[in-house]
Chains A and B, each alone.
Chain A
Amino acid sequence: MSQLRHIDQEDLALYALQLLSADEAAQVAEHLKTCSECSAEVAALQGDMVAYALSAEMLAPPVAAKQRLFQQIAREKKVVSMAAPAAFERGETESGQTLPEVSHEATQASIGRSQELWDDARLDDRSPQGLEVIPPSVLSRTLPWLGWPVAAGLAIAAVSLYQQRAQLQSSVISESTRIAALTEDAARGEALIDVLTDRGAMRVTLNETAAKEPVKPKPQGRATYVASKGTLVFLASNLAPLEPQKTYELWLIPAEAGLSPIPAGTFQPDSRGNASVVMPTLPKGIEAKAFGVTIEEEGGSKTPTAPIVLAGA
């Protein structure tokens, strides 16, 4: 990894993936400071990483995650506004973040109002005729202290208003999160109805590959699959109970030669042997040659383990 030569392309990929040792990574980083060509390749590789990252099954975080985040955000702001008045004046927090303008303005406004009230108090120092005139020495001792309680009261009121605003914002965000979750559920339900009612859907009945006990009802599965949408509904019945730490796993066998079986969800039968897999995450546009079910370790497998207990094409 010389400074004079370019870094090996394969090492750049390992660098982008953060798989090099600390020393090797430091050498590459040093080289990148002066080599635009290698830097561009690392940027391109990190772009490739985005494409690969998207292969992860997309799942929305729990609704509580958003609430937790905004509680933390509100808490940080509260801590900063109460504990660091000097930083608050500058519009900064301990961590360097800029505080909301409204807070700063609220403080300034509060100070301004305090000043106005203080000025008013000074104007009220004028004694109306007919009233007892308080000796100047008493006024000069008392009035300078009056402004501070007033300013403190206004500051508390401003903080209270700010907290109310934060709470209102939190509840608005919480409600919008709930609506987003409901919308997603509705979309999922609509897609489910689509796949069940689609006349072009592929419907496959899966039967036990080797019958063992003719007396017992045979395990059976029915897969309904729309390749263009990547949607699949699988219903099974009469399934044998599983040993502990085992699970059934459904597989989509692609029609295109060379493609490996695609895991289409794990499932456990209920006490009557019934089970279902509804709308597992599958890539769109993969035509299926067949479907199969295997028994795998709990959590599922990336490749099917023989024997195939149910199969259908």
Chain B
Amino acid sequence: MYRNTGTLNIPPFSDEEDSALLSRVSEGDEQAMASLFDRYSKVVYSVALRVLRDPASAEDVLQEIFMQIWRNPVSFTASRGSLGGWLAVVSRNRSIDALRRRKPTEAVEDVVLASPCNLGEEAARNIMIERARVAIYKLPAEQRKTLEMAFFDGLTHSEIAEMTGDPLGTVKTRIRSALTTLRKVFQS
């Protein structure tokens, strides 16, 4: 399922380190766990906070995800794409589950990324963040709004159509177009 096609044009130079840390975590190395926490807690927490808008709930998601890493580091193997990117998506999905008060709808193993981006290093991450923000601000307003409602508010396309009064097909097209526009920005 995994295709290393390189959606985000950033070299995956910390993958090996992530793998080594995960390996040490599987041996019960708490210092390795602390390193992973230092590296990725900000991304996981920030995404959860953006979705849930509640620091305590975001902290619960953070705790849940990192305890899952501690208990079963094998499921977070870096071969499924960038660990940081993977955690960002898992954090978003877990937060949406929490928002909808439902059980997790997927196993972490189901999330596979075609983006060997490096989010472990502050400098590389900041470059990506800036590129992402500029790209998002440049999206057409209706695409940006629709994607925000779908991604951060977890609203379904039907709910968005109902709220905005836009046709269902238009909402679906806007969501996909916004995502693929972002892809093009990072590929350029």
Contacts and interface: CB of A to CB of B under 8 A. Distances in A.
Interface in A84-132: 93, 95-103
A282 to B, nearest CB: 8
Given A59-B45, A60-B42, A180-B38, A13 B130 contact: no
B128 A54 contact: yes
B134 interface: yes
A178 interface: no
Nearest to A93: B71
Given A10-B173, A283-B130, A55 B1 contact: no
Interface in A8-48: 9-14, 17-20, 22, 25, 32, 36, 39-40, 42-48
B113 A56 contact: no
A61 B150 contact: no
Interface residues of B, number: 84
B71 A13 contact: no
Nearest to A13: B176
Contacts of B28: 77, 97-103
B134 A96 contact: no
A286 interface: yes
B70 A40 contact: no
B45 A60 contact: yes
A69 B70 CA distance: 10
Contact of A96 (B49, B72, B132, B180): B72
Contacts of A58: 42-43, 46, 129
Given A32-B1, A61-B59, A72-B63, A47 B136 contact: no
Given A10-B175, A54-B128, A173-B34, A47 B183 contact: yes
A232 to B, nearest CB: 14
Interface centre among A9, A19, A51, A103 (most CB of B within 10 A): A51
A161 interface: no
Interface of A is mostly: helix
B67 A72 contact: yes
A1 to B, nearest CB: 14
Contacts of B115: 44, 46-48, 50-51
B166 to A, nearest CB: 14
B50 to A, nearest CB: 4
Interface in B75-118: 81-82, 85, 88-89, 91-93, 96, 105-106, 111-115, 117
Interface in B136-175: 136-138, 141, 147, 150-152, 154-157, 172-173, 175
A283 B173 contact: no
Contacts of A76: 70-71
A79 interface: no
Contacts of A96: 71-72
Interface in A122-158: none
Interface string B26-45: 11111101100110011101
A283 B138 CA distance: 12
Contact of B63 (A53, A65, A286): A65
B137 to A, nearest CB: 6
B21 interface: no
7 contacts: A10-B172, A43-B112, A52-B136, A55-B136, A98-B26, A100-B29, A254-B137
